[in-house]
């Protein structure tokens, strides 16, 4: 049954905009029989601003591109050394609300960090995962026709300086950290495998390792006719 299967795609380094278009295309094209998918990816440097994001939180973007997206929340930074998990899930089929998905993603990341000896937690006023008050994972979602896309990012071993050019997720002076700063060294493949397993555990789903998106499949998704008039819900990155 589709609701018990999670297809995992490891996409490597991808530009942000084509991936965003691919997520929207996948969501528009899916039907009741479409299995849920988890896309694991890394991006070149980019700032993304949420649907209702305020440009005042972009302090000094400089040469780093800024992309206005349709996820919830304010501004965040993506760059090399950060693992991003995009969650293309049919929430209606699971009987889930957005809050359940947020909790599942946060708990999966917390469990991953705990496995590496890092004590992490959440904040009631700001979605995401924190270590000693510093943000290590940011979360932003969009739900359209009962199906989610966008997802959660985990700072692994990245240049954290660009976060000083913004108010991360709309919070001035928000401290940010990564696994490397905490003395944790872990490979991308290991972390991807672990996070996928922990998210699948939260969903009570069985992982199916899908092949990487072929360039043909990728072009098809990015060229999909995307409707901007559909009713949408969002959860803020914070």
Judge whether 26 and 87 are in contact, CB under 8 Å: no
**Per-residue tokens: 103:** 């909790």
Q: In angstroms, rounded to a whole number, what is the distance separating the alpha carbons of residues 45 and 159?
A: 10
- The active-site residue, picked from 169, 199, 213, 238, is 169
3-state helix vs strand vs coil in the chain, percent to 5? 30, 30, 35
Query: Quick one: 95 exposed, middle or buried, by C-beta within 10 A (0-12, 13-18, 19+)?
Result: exposed
Residue 147 catalytic? no
- How far is Cα 25 from Cα 221, in angstroms, rounded to an integer? 5
Ranges of beta strands (E only) in 70-181 are 75-78, 82-88, 121-123, 126-131, 134-144, 147-155
* Cα 37 to Cα 4, 9, 30, 115, 182, distances in angstroms: 11, 7, 11, 24, 30
Tell me which residues are annotated as active site.
Answer: 169
């Amino acid at each position: 049954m589709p609701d018990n299967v999670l297809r995992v795609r490891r996409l490597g380094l991808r530009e942000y905009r084509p991936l965003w278009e691919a997520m929207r295309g996948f969501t528009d094209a899916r039907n009741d029989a479409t299995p849920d998918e988890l896309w694991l990816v890394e991006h070149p440097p980019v700032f993304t601003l949420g649907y209702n994001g305020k440009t005042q939180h972009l302090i000094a973007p400089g040469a780093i591109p800024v992309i206005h997206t349709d996820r919830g929340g304010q501004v965040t930074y993506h760059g090399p050394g950060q693992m991003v998990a995009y969650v293309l899930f049919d929430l209606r089929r699971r009987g889930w609300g957005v809050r359940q998905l947020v909790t599942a993603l946060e708990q999966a990341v917390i469990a991953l960090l705990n496995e590496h000896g890092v004590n992490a937690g959440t904040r009631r006023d700001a979605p995401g995962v924190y270590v000693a008050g510093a943000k290590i994972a940011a979360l932003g979602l969009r739900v359209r026709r009962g199906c989610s896309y966008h997802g959660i990012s985990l700072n692994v071993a990245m240049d954290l300086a660009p976060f000083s050019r913004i108010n991360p997720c709309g919070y001035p002076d928000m401290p940010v950290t990564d696994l490397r700063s905490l003395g944790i060294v872990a490979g991308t493949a290991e972390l991807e495998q672990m996070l996928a397993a922990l998210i699948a555990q939260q969903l009570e789903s069985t992982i199916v390792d899908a092949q990487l998106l072929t360039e043909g499949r990728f072009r098809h998704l990015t060229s999909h006719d995307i409707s901007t008039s559909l009713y949408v819900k969002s959860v803020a990155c914070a």
